[in-house]
Copies of this chain bind each other. A is one copy, B any other.
């Protein structure tokens, strides 16, 4: 694999000085990064070395390594890149370890959406729901956790009765082949903050690492609930759900979130 520092989208990333001010807790640190990997493993999102996270912290981009046990990575195992200078700041001491093959997907999503963070999970619910739903999107309405999802256009969270829509794309032999399908999602579904990959998992992105993690948890809950709802023949979308425009006339994604969500 060619070096990530030559990746086209990474090279177009610019340092966003407003990011730190958006964080509830503070910018991502390496210590927090590795602790979150443990937490995501325990949630069943990153078993068998699966899953990945990319996160911008100030002028640095941190990405998890490929093929390592995610609950065991140490701070020194995280790949760090300088966004301003387009350099590699650190890589794992074991030279055989490469950066996550999701890295090129992360840089695409970050560049296109202005997101600070992308989380990729292999949760069983995310996989199973794509097998139960044969269409190209997962949709659900009238759920409290929908209020935990941000709308990049309004800068506010969705309402309880809104329909959350997550595109589903087919899996490909390699992660890099997901680049074009994900670009298609970003182009055609500018309101999307997540995409499901059939028989594979979930990608979620957001303005801060905190909001991205929160949204990933909300979505994971909704996917797991949906599997039970389908089993009981309960429709996922209520008839009274607010119908959202699918094709917005202009692309006004802001990621400047002015409102916050569930309690």
Contacts and interface: CB of A to CB of B under 8 A. Distances in A.
A220 to B, nearest CB: 8
A68 interface: yes
Given A68-B24, A131-B229, A144-B200, A50 B122 contact: no
Interface string A154-192: 000001110000000001110100000000000000000
B217 A47 contact: yes
Contact of A148 (B24, B48, B68, B144): B48
Interface residues of A, number: 64
Nearest to A159: B173
Nearest to A51: B263
B94 A24 contact: yes
A24 B143 CA distance: 37
Interface of A: 24-25, 47-52, 64, 66-69, 72, 94, 96-98, 100-102, 120, 122, 124, 127-128, 131-132, 142-145, 148, 159-161, 171-173, 175, 197, 199-201, 210, 213-218, 220-221, 224-225, 227-229, 232, 234, 260-263
